[in-house]
Structure formats: C-alpha cells, structure tokens
Amino acid sequence: MSELLQTLRPGTPVMVADPITFRDYKLLLRSEHFIKPAHFHKFWKLTRHTAKAVGVDISKIGKPLETHLREVLFFDTPKFRLYNHGFILRRRMFYKKGLPQSNHELTLKFRHPDRHTAAAVDVRPLLPCTHTIKFKEETLMEREKLGSMRTIYSHGCDLDTPNVILTQNFESITQVFPALLQTGAKAKTLLSIVNGVAIEEILANCGEIDFGNKVTAKATLAIWRNRMTQEHLVGEYAYQIKFSSLNGFHGKPRELSEAFFMRLQEDAQDWLHIGTTKTAMVYGLGRTPVTNTE
C-alpha cells in the first residue's frame, strides 16, 4: 500500500516493515524574496525554464499559484529531547478565507540519514484510531554546496483532528505515541511550543512535473513567517513523487528528477537559503542547544 491507512489494536505487532513510497526533493529558499504575488510568478517561470533545459515538462494543475494559509506549531520539552533524538512533533491547522477550520493534523516523524534506523522506529499511535503512515526518502542539498544531493529518511504518522492537548506533560503524549519513550524524557516534563514561535505558512501550488513513463510530481512553494512578528523565516520549493515501491522508481524518470533538482540549484542560486531543513531553522531560533544535525 502506498499509504498505510490502518486502525490497529493496542499492542498489535507490526509484522511487515513500512515500505518507502515517496521521494521528496526539497530546496530551501530565502523567504524575503517572496513579498508580492509577482515574486511567486517569477520563481514559477524560473522552474519552467529549468525544466525545459533538462527535458521535462511542468504543467498547471488547478489554479496556478493558488495559495493556502496554514499555521504550524512544533512541540518539545525544554531541552528539546524529542528533536535531539530525531523526532519531530508537529501540529498543522488549516485556514479557509482567513478563518481557522475545525480540522487539524498532528504528525510525529522520526528522521535519520540511515534508512534501516528510520524504518526500525514504530511511529504508530498506541490507541485504536485512523492514522496514515508515510515513509519517505527526502532529497536535500548538501550544506553550502551547489549542485549536490544528500538523503535523509522520514518515517511519519499523521492523525487527523486528534483530541490531544500538546501542552500537557511528556507522559500524556507517550500515551499517544509510545515511540517517544526512546527519548528518555521525564514523565512530568511539560511540552511547549518550540522557541514560542507560531509559524504562518503560505503554501502555493506550483504545478505538476512530468518525468515520463507516467511518473509525475506535485510541486509546491512554502513560505514560513513568524505569525506574531511577521518576520520572514524561510521558504521551500519541493516536489514529491509517489510510487508503490522504491525499487520500481528507476531509469529515465529517476534520472530526470535528479537532473532537475541539480540544475535548479544552479539556476536559482540567488534564491537559495543555505541551511538544512525548515524544522532545523525553527529549532535554531532560540538559545537551547541543538545536537540534531539533520
């Protein structure tokens, strides 16, 4: 199954390892370059120019560059026990016409550069509930090196509109996600919003990239700002390829997807933000030591 949508009983053993069913390509961008709608269009044209140069096509899907507003919050202990052990606990709220919607998404991820280490962590919730497991291969740029690629693996679980209060103690969240017990945090340690920063996310639809042989990727452009101060934080251009098996993603489509990623780094170098991930940037805004070097 490409997405494992399951309802499990407590304690049900996972007999089959989750397969990798996504490859995400991600490039960090300087968010201050995206102030006006015209700036989004300028970058859209740049990506189409790059696509043409490497022999792929980007087509419009839905309303081109249609934007969506979302709020993103990360939760952790005061000493960042979760993130420093490779875990990310995130809540995403959705807005429509400026108004918050009743549904929200709670996500637990474990990220690691080693595929087998990421696969070994069972991110499923303890109690029976509908959840979605996503195991992704994420392709990023090498730190401060244009025209490069590196890989980290993300093993995640999404819960839709969970009835969970995240500012309670650590013990409460481990009753939802027992995998977090691996962090060794004390039961009564309180969780809070990472560095007190609520993130305003502007997500734009950047079309669909066709790599041939029916392999396509949905492209998006996300801009993150501090919701309270409106300070620009970071942007990200990403495209995601979904498949039934990583072994089935090979040949010309894979070569073209990588060629586009490499060439775009060169063509868009004035737009690039040199860093690692959006999450890493948010964690780095405060003074708490961060040992996670994703």
Calpha distance 74→281 (Å, rounded): 12
pLDDT tops 50 at residue 1: no
From residue 90, alpha-carbon distances to 28, 33, 136, 144 in Å are 19, 26, 17, 27
Categorize the per-residue pLDDT at 7 as very low, low, confident or very high, splitting at 50, 70 and 90. Answer: very low
Averaged pLDDT for residues 138-161: 93
pLDDT tops 50 at residue 13: no
pLDDT tens-place string over residues 61-87 = 877 788 999 999 999 999 999 999 999
pLDDT tops 90 at residue 8: no
How many other CB atoms sit within 10 Å of the CB of residue 101? Answer: 12
Averaged pLDDT for residues 92-100: 88
Query: Which residues lie below 8 Å from residue 72, measured CB to CB, with a gap of 6+?
Result: 90, 91, 92, 198, 199, 201, 224
Calpha distance 103→211 (Å, rounded): 34
Q: Which residue has the higher pLDDT, 63 or 108?
A: 108
Domain positions in the chain are 39-283
Query: Which residues lie below 8 Å from residue 215, measured CB to CB, with a gap of 6+?
Result: 241, 243, 249, 253, 257
Check residue 63 and report its DSSP letter.
S
pLDDT tops 50 at residue 98: yes
pLDDT tops 80 at residue 2: no
Task: Look at residue 244 in the predicted model and tell me its pLDDT.
Answer: 83
Query: Which residues lie below 8 Å from residue 25, measured CB to CB, with a gap of 6+?
Result: 139, 217, 238, 239, 240, 257, 260, 261
Averaged pLDDT for residues 30-44: 94
pLDDT tops 60 at residue 9: no
Q: Is the Cα torsion angle 92, 138, 136, 222 positive or negative in sign?
A: positive
Q: Chain-wide mean pLDDT for the chain? A: 91
**How large a percentage of the chain has pLDDT more than 90?**
79
Calpha distance 206→65 (Å, rounded): 6
Single-letter amino acid code for the residue at 196: G
Calpha distance 194→209 (Å, rounded): 34
pLDDT tops 90 at residue 101: no
Burial 261-282 (b: 16+ CB within 10 A, else e): bbbbbeebeebbbeebbbbbeb
Conformational region of residue 159, where left means phi above 0, alpha means psi within -120 to 50, and beta covers everything else: beta
pLDDT tens-place string over residues 268-283 = 999 999 988 999 999 9
Fold of 39-283: Hypothetical Protein Pfu-838710-001 (2.40.320)
Query: Which residues lie below 8 Å from residue 15, measured CB to CB, with a gap of 6+?
Result: none
pLDDT tens-place string over residues 157-186 = 999 876 777 778 999 999 999 999 999 999
Calpha distance 30→39 (Å, rounded): 12
pLDDT tens-place string over residues 212-253 = 999 999 999 999 999 999 999 999 999 999 998 777 788 999
pLDDT tops 50 at residue 12: no
Averaged pLDDT for residues 3-14: 41
Task: Look at residue 16 in the predicted model and tell me its pLDDT.
Answer: 62
pLDDT tens-place string over residues 184-201 = 999 999 999 999 999 999
